[in-house]
Amino acid sequence: MNKNNYALIMAGGVGSRFWPVSRTGFPKQFIDFFGVGKTLIQSTYDRFLQICPPENIFIVTNEIYVDLIKEQLPSIKENQILAEPIMRNTAPCIAYGSMKIAKINPNAVIVVAPSDHTIANQKGFIQAIEQSMEAAAKNNCLITLGIKPNRPDTGYGYIQYVDEVLKTDDSIHKVKTFTEKPNLELAQSFIKSGDFLWNAGIFIWSAKAINLAFEKHLPDMHEIFQQGNSFYSTSNEVEFIANAYLQCTNISIDFAIMEKADNVYVLPADFGWSDLGTWASIYEMAEKDYVGNAVIPSDQVMMFDSSNCMVNVPGEKLVILQSLHNYIVVESNNTLLICPRSEEQNVKNIVADVKAKFGNKFI
């Protein structure tokens, strides 16, 4: 295992689309959605243990989730948890993590990944990451993983690539454009063209390359975190970061760096990836019975004349459903959500209405 391999796992999201199971105090990365005995962040951490030494895996999260990180990842040391005082999107957390890792090891090659994605083909994922890390170590480039699409999905961003490839790896292509979530007609045209990939939000680069990119494209933020070099991995780090984040722009790494840099490349990949952005994606990944019902857990759920439903309820509760088709049924902490799968996009609106009526009691 290469001692220069590092992972920065982003685990600060709230995950309101999975309410009421996912809540502000216990978001989706800390939940075992599939009843496999591991939460999403535990599964992500285990994947990177096959790529990086354990001491080289860092978790960046909101400070309110530090105790949850310690509970679910007990082998992680205090210095490997990067606590954000406020939410400022992905650019600041990547700038913070990259600068801290660069101080530890200037020759570091870093993979940045969300904590709440699922990967069906673990071997394929590891091969793609290791291939990209090897390329990033040899080239001043920013690499992202692009997922080969199997449908015109409007819930993902897209990456268009060209024939130009890295000199050291002809399967890694130069990126032409990034497109935010398109409408259906545009997504269909992307699929037909054959040169578009889903944007997985997984990045690979050397510490030198990403810090140079920040210096060029987001110099104010680069300067803010560069001033912390004498504080990283010391008792003064928390205080420095608290002040640093107040000065940071709220901006994503895509807008800040990836869409501006001229050394961005993509590796087309296919390893059963899902970002688990909605209950529909949970339904798609989950095991289903012969009439299309996905029930997690299934021990005490009885369904009669019901089909194509997504059911997620506590294991100790007896649930009986009859004549229900194409519905989402979710219960957590004595809060029950029942809605048609076709109306799932309104869950965020439902959460807003609940918050307006009851405050944060159920959120």
Give tens-digit pLDDT for 177-189. Answer: 999 888 899 999 9
- CA-wise closest residue to 15 among 26, 7, 4: 26
CA 149 to chain centre: 18
The pLDDT of residue 212 is above 70: yes
Residue 92 confidence (pLDDT):
97
Residue pair 182/201 in contact (Cβ under 8 Å)? The answer is no
Residue 12: pLDDT band (50, 70, 90) is: confident
Distance (Å, rounded) from C-alpha 56 to C-alpha 24? Answer: 28
How distant, in Å, are the alpha carbons of 113, 133, 180, 203 from that of 130?
14, 5, 27, 12
Length of the chain, please? 363
Tokens of 160: 């268009």
Distance (Å, rounded) from C-alpha 198 to C-alpha 344? Answer: 22
Mean of the per-residue pLDDT values for the chain?
A: 92
Q: 151 or 346: whose pLDDT is higher?
A: 151
Classify residue 130 as exposed, middle or buried by CB count within 10 Å of its CB (0-12, 13-18, 19+): middle
Distance (Å, rounded) from C-alpha 302 to C-alpha 35? Answer: 17
Q: 107 or 352: whose pLDDT is higher?
A: 107
Distance (Å, rounded) from C-alpha 354 to C-alpha 293? Answer: 28
Residue 327: what are its φ and ψ, rounded to 5°?
-120, 155
Distance (Å, rounded) from C-alpha 222 to C-alpha 219? Answer: 5
Sign for the pseudo-dihedral over CA of 276, 282, 287, 290: negative
Percent of the chain with pLDDT over 90: 73
pLDDT tens figures, 57-69: 999 999 999 999 9
Residue 81 confidence (pLDDT):
97
Residue 126: pLDDT band (50, 70, 90) is: very high
Sign for the pseudo-dihedral over CA of 244, 200, 43, 336: positive
Place of tokens 């895509």: 254
Distance (Å, rounded) from C-alpha 259 to C-alpha 144? Answer: 12
